[in-house]
């Protein structure tokens, strides 16, 4: 879908559902990662994440457009346009707009963490650490003996 088709769709949704004209620009923004779209307060433009259409289709795209148009029309009219405002929540309900969009990015698998185990040369006390320790700088907290690295594990 092109930016021109998106603009036509935004104008159509604005007229059909809100009964008001959309007088600014609407376009796709590939740099949006976690959000479906955003309304720009200063320029009044609407940016849409192209992944919304690619992953979930036209129904989800129209839902995101309706959500952003709620921000747009309330801001233009000088009413509460933020998510926490009663005006915004009421308009979401009356236009049947979604409060959130579907998940666009899968969460990355947790990085493997390393676990360092150090042992005191005098008293044999074990120390488990996530961060590597400088054994020339630090000593045992119990007997002030020298520390040395016993093992290095990769944990998930």
d(CA 23, CA 98): 23
Catalytic residue among 4, 8, 68, 108: 68
Half-sphere exposure of 7 (CA within 13 A, CB side): 9
Half-sphere exposure of 144 (CA within 13 A, CB side): 0
- DSSP class of residue 18 equals I
37, 65 contact by CB (below 8 A): yes
Whether 8 is catalytic: no
d(CA 74, CA 41): 11
Q: Which amino acids are annotated catalytic? A: 68
């Amino acid at each position: 879908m092109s930016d021109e088709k998106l603009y036509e769709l935004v104008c159509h949704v604005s007229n059909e559902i809100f009964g008001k004209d959309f007088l600014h620009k609407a376009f796709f923004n590939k740099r949006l990662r976690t959000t479906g779209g955003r309304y720009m307060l200063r320029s009044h433009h609407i940016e849409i994440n192209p992944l919304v259409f690619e992953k979930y289709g036209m129904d989800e795209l129209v839902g995101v457009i309706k959500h952003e148009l709620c921000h747009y029309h309330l801001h233009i009219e000088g009413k509460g346009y933020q998510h926490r405002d009663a005006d915004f929540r009421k308009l979401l309900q009356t236009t049947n707009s979604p409060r959130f969009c579907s998940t666009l990015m899968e969460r990355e698998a947790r990085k493997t963490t390393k676990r360092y185990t150090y042992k005191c040369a005098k008293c044999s006390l074990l120390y488990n650490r996530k961060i590597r320790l400088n054994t020339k700088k630090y000593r045992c907290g119990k007997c002030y003996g020298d520390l040395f690295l016993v093992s290095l594990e990769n944990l998930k």
